[in-house]
Amino acid sequence: MSDVPQEARNWRLYIQDMIDFGEKVLSYTKGLDYDVFIADRLTYDATLRNLQLIGEAATHIPGKAREAHPEVQWRDIVGTRNRLAHSYLGIDDEVIWDIIQTDVPKLLPALQQLLDATSKDAE
């Protein structure tokens, strides 16, 4: 995340952060299967941290922007962040693996499209 104070940041920067964190998740887990992912605690922890950061960045997207882009599952993203931050003993590894394999690859193009569309609107 950039060093710009939160209150001064344009919400589009948080979208870019979400993309960056999602790309890290996919990069860290590329070529891994479920068992290797679970066994590699460093990769596991780094991946969970970036999933959490995706959700944290999503909390900074204004309600109007969320409403205008329902193709992004904002509530689920923030909910995942909350579960990762507060339920560390109750994390379901299979659910996390499904998020990595299914949800993040779908999320990144949606976020990029949102960023591209809103960047054109801001010009």
60 is catalytic: no
**In 3-state terms, what secondary structure has residue 60?**
coil
Report which residue type is found at 46.
A
Q: How far is CA 37 from CA 48, 50, 74, 85, in A?
A: 11, 15, 26, 20
Q: First CA to last CA across the chain, in angstroms?
A: 23
Residues 6+ apart with CB under 8 A from 90: 83
86 is known as an active-site residue: yes
Q: Do residues 107 and 14 make contact, with C-beta atoms less than 8 angstroms apart?
A: no
The identity of residue 11, as a single letter, is: W
Of the residues 41, 60, 69, 86, only one is catalytic, namely 86
49, 69, 81, 83: which is the annotated catalytic residue?
Answer: 81
Positions marked active-site: 81, 86
